[in-house]
Amino acid sequence: MLLKNNTTQKDIFCSPISLKKFTHKYKKILLLLFIGFTQIICLANNDNVVILKNYIKNEYSKTYPEIHIESISLITRNTLNLYNIELLSKNLNSIRNSNGYVTVSYKYNNKILQENIKYTIQANIRIYIASDNIPAKSNFNTAKFTERLQDFSILASIPATKAEILQSSAKVYIPANSIISRNKLSKRILIAKDSQVKIILRTDGIEAITTGKSVENGVMGDIIKIENLESKRTISGEVIGENIVLIR
C-alpha cells in the first residue's frame, strides 16, 4: 500500500487519534455485548413461556401417564408480553382435550391482574381397546385387550393405563373394540364365587388354618361369606389376598 508523504500503515494505527477512535469503538462493542448478554440472562431467568408450557405438560402427564406431547402453543392478546410480567399463580380450566385455557394471576406495574391464556397441544396417547366382549365383574388379562396409539384430541373419559387395567376387573360390561377407560374399572376380584379359599382364624394370639368355599365374589378388604368345608357352616371373613380370608 502506497502512502503519501512517506506515511506508513504503522504510523496510522499507532497515531494517538487512530488509537483513540479504535479504543472508543471497542468499548462500544463490549458495552453492546454486555447489554445483550444481560438481557439473555434475564429472559432465561424469567421465561414465563417455558414455565407455562412445562406446567401444562406436567398437568396433562399426571392425568394421562401414557401421553406424549410434541408441542404446546400459547395464544395471548397482543398487549400482553409474558416476558415483562411476574407470574403469581396458574391454573388449568380443563384437560379433557387438546385445546384449553390456563388462568394466570400476575403482577405488572405494581398491579395484580388476571388473564386467560389459550393453549393448543399436539400430542398422541396410547390407549387400550377391548379385543372381545368383557363381562362385568371379570378380571382383566393381556388377552382381553390390545394397544393403539392415536392423536390426542377430545376424550369423553380418561383412558386407563396398562398397569391400571391389569390390576382391575371390569366394573361394567365392556363391548369389543371400545376404549377401556378408568371409569369402567373396579378393584380386581381376588376371590371368585364358588372358588376354594384358605381360611385363617386368629383369636387371642392363636392362629388356625382351614379351607372353605366362597359364596360370593370379593375384592381386597371386602367382608364376604364363606362356607366351611368341614363344618358346612357359613361364616364371614375379610379378603386379605388372592383366595385368602381372615376371621378375627
Condensed to tens digits (0 to 9), the pLDDT of residues 14-32 reads 555 554 554 655 555 655 5
The whole domain housing 229 covers: 190-247
In a domain, 2, yes or no: no
Spatial distance between the Cα atoms of 187 and 127, rounded to a whole number of angstroms: 20
Are 178 and 197 part of one and the same domain? no
Are 115 and 131 part of one and the same domain? no
Spatial distance between the Cα atoms of 232 and 219, rounded to a whole number of angstroms: 23
What integer is the mean pLDDT of 35-62?
74
Q: What digits encode the pLDDT tens for the residues 216-245?
A: 999 999 999 999 888 889 999 999 999 999
Boundary residue ending a domain (106, 123, 140): 123
Number of structural domains the chain divides into = 3
Are 106 and 95 part of one and the same domain? yes
Spatial distance between the Cα atoms of 114 and 144, rounded to a whole number of angstroms: 48
Q: What digits encode the pLDDT tens for the residues 166-191?
A: 999 999 999 999 999 999 999 999 99
SS3 state of residue 188 = coil
Locate cell 479504535: which residue? Answer: 22
